[in-house]
Homo-oligomer: A and B are copies of this chain.
Amino acid sequence: MSKGKVVLAYSGGLDTSCILVWLKEQGYDVITYLANIGQDEDFEAARKKAESLGAKKVFIEDLRTEFVEDFIWPAVQANAVYEDRYLLGTAVARPCIARRQVEIARREGAQYVSHGATGKGNDQIRFELTCYALYPEVKIIAPWRIPEFYNRFRGRTDLMEYAREHGIPVPVTPRAPWSMDANLMHIRSELFLSGSESRAPADLYLMTKNPEDSPNVQDVLEIEFKKGVPVKVTNMNDGISKNTALDVFSYLNEIGGKHGVGRIDIVENRFIGMKSRGIYETPGGTVLLKAHLDIETFTMDKEVRRIKQGLGIKFSELVYNGFWYSPECNFVRHCIAKSQENVEGKVQLSVLKGQVYILGRESPKSLYNEELVSMDVQGDYDPCDASGFIRINAVRLREHHRLQGLSSTKQ
């Protein structure tokens, strides 16, 4: 008698292969689901592996376009950065993956979903909050939080042994001393057993060239935005041009990666209240962040920008913490999208040796008025007005000083 169907987020790796077999052992019918969000993976090999391990069904889903359009683009509009540095490449991928998993679970009549995320990380939260939000009755099996599982598999050796016993193919190359999460937007690496002060090994980086070795000739790109989203990128060096969401983003990854753009090594605060170290490569996302910041400030009213900046920080926290599918994140996304209506125009930038330099920008919606700002043209602006402006702003400061004078006189 089956305990029911479970849709397992399957990566093809050792962990989730063991979980697949373990779930079968527990009496579940296992459906595996593997999302293609741009990671470097042999999807057909993974399919065969899952089938050979007893998956009742295997779903391999190409989510790359929806990942870019539905998840990366809103992050670009928001200038989404967590704790001033992390561009949220993993955080925006989780709701994308879980959304489809839940669709499959509903379609297949599965009551359960499962995943291989650890019990100390953010990903379990991002994954499960999405599942609960979109499929509130779902039951979630998180083996790394189930004592029978994690007490049995106390380390990699236990997994390897279990794999050998159950005919699960075992990786032949030794494991790198870091874990990795890769998708179209970024690669995140976490060093094992390392202090915060040890340096990341050079071969950890896969998406970006070492800036020391990258070309000393810049690429000059022109990125065109509409409604705060890139619609076209052109390389001014060779005229190459892209204009679909997936192509634009992939091309920015290519150019950014070639020049070593978007590497950071940070300690960040997990939702769960602990600090962890992460090393990230986000080439295309970093180029886009710089370009979007530029065209946004160019076309957006100053005070709208201030309010929107606060909403962007809120958005980043929500996404980091796993609340993409929450009423508040819906609300914030709506507000941010509203703010982007006039964020339109072209940004020219140079990419070189790990850096992105803005060279210029133009826009039909620009609020930049060359004549108004010119030091040589007076235009409609009367400099005398500034005297009044300053003096009124000083009323409060002078009163404050007066009071302090009174206090100090008294003392």
A residues with a Cβ closer than 8 A to B are: 79, 83-85, 118-120, 124-125, 128-129, 132-134, 136, 142, 144-145, 147, 150, 155, 179, 190, 192-200, 211-212, 216, 218, 263-270, 272-277, 293-294, 297-298, 301-311, 313-314, 317, 322-323, 325-328, 331-332, 334-335, 338-339, 348, 352-355, 357-362, 364-370, 372-376, 378, 380-403, 407, 410
Contact = CB atoms under 8 A, between A and B. Distances in A.
- Copies of this protein in the assembly total 4
A298 B403 CA distance: 13
B357 A144 contact: no
Given A298-B275, A338-B334, A394-B133, A359 B265 contact: yes
Contacts of A362: 195-197
Contacts of A364: 410
A370 B297 contact: no
Contacts of A366: 196, 275, 403
A1 B155 CA distance: 37
B335 A399 contact: no
A223 to B, nearest CB: 13
A374 B357 CA distance: 38
Contact of A155 (B266, B355, B376): B376
Contact of A398 (B136, B150, B179, B374): B136
B192 A305 contact: no
Given A120-B373, A273-B396, A387-B388, A197 B348 contact: yes
A353 B84 CA distance: 22
A243 to B, nearest CB: 21
Given A386-B145, A392-B386, A326 B305 contact: no
A215 to B, nearest CB: 11
A384 B381 CA distance: 16
B353 A355 contact: yes
Nearest to A151: B378
B85 A267 contact: no
A234 B125 CA distance: 41
Contacts of A272: 386, 389, 392, 395
A214 B304 CA distance: 39
A290 to B, nearest CB: 9
A331 B339 contact: yes
Contacts of A264: 358
A316 to B, nearest CB: 11
B388 A277 contact: no
A328 B353 contact: no
Given A307-B314, A388-B387, A401-B133, A393 B125 contact: yes
A269 B311 CA distance: 19
A389 B196 CA distance: 27
Q: Which 10 A-B pairs have the closest CB atoms?
A: A388-B388, A119-B383, A273-B396, A353-B353, A269-B302, A303-B328, A132-B394, A385-B388, A273-B395, A301-B327
B274 A399 contact: yes
A100 B9 CA distance: 48
Contact of A216 (B118, B198, B216, B407): B216
Given A79-B84, A274-B372, 12 more contacts: A128-B394, A212-B218, A267-B294, A267-B368, A269-B302, A273-B302, A274-B395, A274-B396, A275-B367, A277-B373, A303-B328, A389-B393
